[in-house]
Structure 1
Amino acid sequence: MAKEDLKMATIEGHLDFDSNSNQVTLHHVVDGQLEVHTTTILNENRDFGFKFPVTTPGFYYIDYGQYNNRLRGQVIRLYLEPGVNVKMSIQEDKYILEGKENGHNQLVQDANNIVNRFREFNRLGARVTYEDFYPFLENEGIKMVQDFKSRIKTKDKDFDALLSLAVQADFESECFFFFRLPRTAHPDKENRPQIYADLKVDGIKFSDENILKLDNGFKWMSGYFDYYRYNTKRDSKVEKIDIINNDLKQISGNTLKEVYVLGMLKYLRLKPEEYKEIITPLYQYLTSEKSKNYVLEYEKQLHKEEGQPGYEFTYKDVNGNPVSFKDFRGKYVYVDVWATWCGPCKQEIPHLKKLEHDYKGKDIVFMSISVDKIKDKQKWKDFVKSEALGGVQIMADKAFESGITKNYEINAIPRFLLFDKEGKIISTDALRPSSSLIRKQFDELLGLEK
């Protein structure tokens, strides 16, 4: 091997099946998530290859199209370091290592086989339930992970520690992810294998920065917090504005905290009022150029529509009378875009009624715009009457093809909009009536702050 090749890592591969793609992507890990390293095109024999310098040994991932959220195909994770020359043949559900310069990748392949076994229970359309998963987890699954971790004993201690951490991250992430997919049978929240109680930590859960060297590092952290936040018995609703601060109590180290905060800001899709409430104490963690640039662009986007004229519409009320947006100049207008078939919309109605009652006589109009289909107009009228809905009740003329839904790109409901007294936009994705911050915002607008 030439001297310069000692600093290089090489992958030579062949696809033994038709992957419906003519390219292969090599991913690396940045801040606990996959990013594209490079992409190559398959030749006429479906061969591919990569050769590049490796300064820091770590995990890389071969993707021929199987890294699809729906497919969740086999994991092909490789540990690359200078001088490694991986030769492989890839089949649809497994891959075969060839050659004698694969480094630690035979052991890594064993780890991949374990996570691939768990993923059989975590694919859309797999048609498995807790009745299938629990017995596997409690018997074969846990033992598989424990036995494998006990035999990670190479002379490379850094590699051993990273692989052991990766196997634990794979295991926990798949355990938590199981409850995020639709199933045909559901256990009670109290009916969970003991391992879920054992994985819960009261103090610091995440402190090893090597988590950020794993493709699922961020997902491991967010999945852990999501599971214990939403899949255990709780008496009160968890507000988005409390989520990050609560989670940070179980993360140590500024680097991990920064990555987690940045990832959660992207994930939570905070509304402007929520963002304003939460961001100030988080600035202390967002110190890198990457974070600062993200926050700068994020804040620009949050307020890009503010002050723009609202879409002018005219729709009919339950009595067939036309009602126009311009009719309410001189008052703030809070709009609920909803439908009678929408469960989450109906859940907001009691909160909306309470707001209407508490702000009666103030300079704010509560308007509900139904996007039910025209053929269901009578159903909408009956619902308005039976539920004694207040405020201004009108129906859009073409359901989701109406002007208001197209103008504000509304493709999911409920959606709330807020306009000032001149009909200009305050927010086209406003706080819901159930939000703990909605009254604070209304009081500030109406000059009612104490």
Structure 2
Amino acid sequence: MIKKVLVIVFAVLMNTAFAQSPSNINGVVEGGSTKNVGLYKVLNGRLAEIATATPDGQGRFAFRFTPEYEGLYAVGNGSLQSQQGLYRFYFRGNEELNLKLTKEGYELQGKNSKENEALAAWDKETVTFKTKATSLGSVSTYVDFFPEVEAFKGKLPGIAKLVSTGNVNFDTFFAQLVETDFAYYAISYLYMPRIAHPSKEERTAYYNDFKADRFLTDDLLRFPYGDRFISKLVYSKVDLAGKPTLEQQVDAIPSNLLKGQYVLQRLESARSYSDFQELRDQYQAYFTLPEQQQRLTALETKLVETKTGVPAFQFSFPDLSGKKTGLTDLKGKVVLIDMWATWCGPCRAEEPFWEKLNEEFQGKAVAFVGVSTDQDKPKWEEYVKTKGLKGIQLHAGVANPLSEAYKVNAIPRYILIDKAGNLITADSPRPSDPKLKALITEWLTK
């Protein structure tokens, strides 16, 4: 028993050691005309850039990086949006990848890991099938493609079993990769522009027996195409002819994590801030990953409007104790936001008037919220404590989402919001201007 435990501990330590060791990529671009080659990681089913390299006069490029995780990464000189010209490889640390990027794809050269040799062999096996399935320029029709699907699917178990690299994690994952790749290619074919589309009756056994839930799991986000595959899997479950609602489509996804990813795709096509807010609020419980929250903030910043009566930007920043306060916490009050910084002379000049307004509206449904854009947080903390500034004092820092949403490129800036959380003005009069007091008084009565 002790021996078994020691073996497990050793295996864990070895995986940790590999993950903390750098990997080397050495490549050459055939023809030498490429300006940049990118290195990407998989982040929630999408590719995110790690680094770029500029090939030299002979087309040579190189990367040295420490993998964040054991799994798939991508290298290439193609399009990040379509992922054409980007090729996935497996890294866990302490390995070498040597390759040539060609017009047709890539070739491994010299010494490479067993994992990447297995991936390259699989890519070579599927290159024609993949091209037919996912390329816009493909002249293939279902008449020739469907028989290929049926012939190929029988080979999958044998291909997966042939791989034995000595890396248990990879060998297990490779079997999943073969099945998921094949499903992605076969199902994607149905949703690419074609000169002819099959009826349901013309679909073959693979499509008739297809079980989308087998792939609608959290593991899908380990693949570079995972995020975009979600929608195709959903479409294979719901009857699009019946015009299913978004709620019906989301309900078809068994994984809460994938529900969040799917709704985010829809939010990215929202046409107005109000549409965005409605969907975000309805499905908020599914946005649990930090990257999902970042995407939400970026989308909100892009869509936020500055007209009177539109929903105000949903900010949330920490106070001196680290507790976050947001606009939702202040519902039922008129909210005056002061965008300021300790180094800003005009901001400090407004402080006496800010303090006076706080006193005059004390006990009334008005929230005075100072939002600091200071880069030096400790300096802000000391300033607020020393001055004893009134109101709710929060720290946002530079390049914060509230500043981006309302294009605050000069401070002080005062933003006024009504009791329902709708914008009154994104550029109100300053506290020293009597018009601000009159404006707050007016909206208190509404």
Q: Normalising TM by the smaller chain, what interval?
A: 0.5 to 0.7
- The aligned residue for residue 215 of structure 1 is 224
Compute the displacement of 1:47 (Å).
0.7
Q: 1:36 and 1:77 mapped to 2: Cα distance?
A: 13
Helix, strand or coil for the counterpart of 2:159? helix
Does the alignment pair 1:179 with 2:190?
A: yes
State the match for 1:438 in structure 2.
none
Aligned partner (choices 48, 54, 64) of residue 51 of structure 1:
64
**Alignment deviations for residues 409-442 of structure 1 (CA, whole Å, 9 cap, x no partner):** xxxxxxxxxxxxxxxxxxxxxxxxxxxxxxxxxx
What do residues 57-116 of structure 1 show as CA deviations (whole Å, max 9, x unaligned)?
2211111126663xx745522111222111122322243322334241110112222442
Matches within 5 A, 1:123-202: 123-139=135-151, 141-201=152-212
Between the aligned partners of 1:68 and 1:296, the Cα distance in structure 2 is 21
How far off is 1:132 after superposition?
1.9
RMSD: 3.2
Q: Residues 75 and 116 of structure 1 are in contact (CA less than 8 Å); yes or no, is this contact kept in structure 2?
A: no
Kindly provide the amino acid, as one letter, of the partner of residue 62 in structure 1. V
TM-score (norm 2): 0.58
Partner amino acid for 1:265?
L
**Residues 46-445 of structure 1 aligned to structure 2 (within 5 Å):** 46-65=59-78, 69=82, 73=84, 76-121=87-132, 122-139=134-151, 141-201=152-212, 206-207=216-217, 209-229=218-238, 234=241, 236-244=242-250, 246-248=251-253, 250-251=254-255, 254-266=256-268, 269=270, 275=276, 278-299=279-300, 301-302=302-303, 304=305, 306-307=307-308
Report the secondary structure of 1:61's partner residue.
strand
Q: Structure 1: state its 5+ residue gaps.
A: 310-450
Residue 190 of structure 1: CA displacement?
2.5
Q: Deviations over 1:126-150 (max 9, x none)?
A: 21111121121111x2134333122
Deviation at 1:15? 1.7
**TM-score, normalised relative to structure 1:** 0.58
- What is the SS of the residue equivalent to 1:229? coil
| In 1: Cα distance, 2:30 partner to 2:110 partner | 17
Structure-1 residue corresponding to 2:385: none
Picking from 30, 33, 49, the partner of 2:46 is 33
Amino acid across the alignment from 2:249 = I
CA pair 204-108 structure 1, distance change in 2 beyond 3 A: closer
Pair 1:13-2:23 in alignment? no
Q: Distance in 2 between matches of 1:33 and 1:27?
A: 9
Checking the alignment, whether the CA contact within 8 Å between 2:45 and 2:222 is kept in structure 1 is yes
Could you tell me how far 1:179 is from its partner in structure 2?
A: 2.0
Distance 1:167 1:205, change over 3 A: closer
Gaps spanning 5+ residues in structure 2: where?
1-16, 311-446
Partner of 2:427: none
Moved more, 176-185 or 108-117: 108-117
Alpha-carbon shift at residue 35 of structure 1 (Å): 1.0
Q: Offset of 1:31 from its aligned partner?
A: 0.7
The residue aligned with 1:406 is: none
User: Which amino acid counterpart does residue 130 of structure 1 have in structure 2?
Assistant: Y
* Alpha-carbon distance in 1 for matches of 2:108, 2:171: 20
Alpha-carbon distance in 1 for matches of 2:181, 2:110: 27
The code of the aligned residue for 2:27 comes to G
Deviation at 1:164, TM superposition (A): 2.1
Do the aligned residues in 1 keep the contact of 2:19 with 2:92 (CA within 8 Å)? no
Task: Say if 1:23 and 1:41, in contact at 8 Å, map to a contact too.
Answer: yes
Distance 1:238 1:162 in 2: 34
Amino acid aligned to 2:141: T
How far apart in 2 are the matches of 1:173 and 1:119?
9
Partner of 2:408 in structure 1?
none
How many pairs are equivalent?
293
> Secondary structure of 1:228's partner?
coil
